[in-house]
Amino acid sequence: MWSLIILGALQGLTEFLPVSSSGHLIVLRTLFGMALPGATVEVALHAGTLASVLLYYRPWIAKWVRQLTRGERAAWRYFMRLTVASLPAGALGIGFGHVIEDYFTVSAAVIGWLLTAVLLWVMPSPKEDRQSTPSMGLLGYLLIGLAQGLALWPGLSRSGSTIAMGRAVGLDPEEAARFSFLMAVPAVLGALVFEIPSLRLSGIPWMDMTLAALVAAMAGLVAIQWVTRIVNHPHAWRGFAIYLVLAAVAVRIFGG
């Protein structure tokens, strides 16, 4: 049960903080001998992180859905942006998912951490904004989606990559963060779809898995709130970059 709680907290925090959940899970598995969850537990953890996004943005999502049902153009334009941004990750996951799994190693995770650190370090500050959200075309959202797709590489943070790309193509900090987290909804749903066929009777009590999902949801809420509060502060992002560099160096020194 304690292992599931630790995994739930780690999944919830690192899914939304720009530090990569896959990189941390690989290090836990390889260097600390901690068994990774099977598909059944992964479904529970992903369901928890999905719930955290829906809970945090529930007022915004409820308003957006009402606007969609009324046929408002702005709401449908936003739907189109999310759809376009979700395509690259879906295509890369389907086409290269099994290939990428072969690179789930500590060395690959270290490379991903260092790449994420570079992205966070060079992320444009709010003072460097060049355009407003409405003027950005679908190409910009496609680039954000491509960043999410490339984040399938272990250690390359999904949230860090998509927020950095959102800032690079002109989104203001708050919208870049919100769009990144809303993009997690179809991404996590896609992961659930792929994992459900692999479900087996794991022998883990359902109460324990439910607890892990709740921990993941609560940790995810904390992470989302943290990111939305610091998104306007470049020094905070550089702090995550420094953490990733130090973590990469520590893994190489102590992990061999």
Q: Are 173 and 230 in contact (CB under 8 A)?
A: no
Would the pLDDT of 248 be above 80? yes
Residue among 255, 78, 33 nearest 175 (CA):
78
Task: Please answer whether residues 45 and 37 qualify as being in contact, where contact means their C-beta atoms are separated by less than 8 angstroms.
Answer: yes
pLDDT for 210: 84
pLDDT band at 197 (very low <50, low <70, confident <90, very high): low
Q: Where along the chain do its domains lie? A: 2-254
Res 93: pLDDT: 77
Residue 248: φ, ψ to 5°? -65, -45
In the prediction, which pLDDT does 35 show? 62
Tokens matching residue 17: 């903080």
Query: Measuring CA to CA, how many Å separate 70 from each of 17, 37, 64, 194, 235?
Result: 35, 43, 10, 33, 42
- Whole-number CA gyration radius for the chain: 18
Q: What share of the chain is helix, strand, coil (3-state, %, to 5)?
A: 80, 0, 20
Paired tokens of 188: 């996590």
Q: What is the DSSP letter of 134?
A: G
- Work out the percent of the chain whose per-residue pLDDT is above 70: 86
What CA–CA distance (Å, rounded) separates 68 from 48?
Answer: 26
79-130 pLDDT per residue, tens: 999 999 999 988 887 777 677 777 788 899 999 999 999 999 998 776 555 5
Token pair, residue 169, equals 């193509």
What local confidence, expressed as pLDDT, does residue 192 receive?
73
Give the list of residues 6+ apart from residue 251 with CB closer than 8 angstroms, or none.
Answer: 27, 31, 106, 109, 110
Q: Is the pLDDT of residue 54 over 80?
A: yes
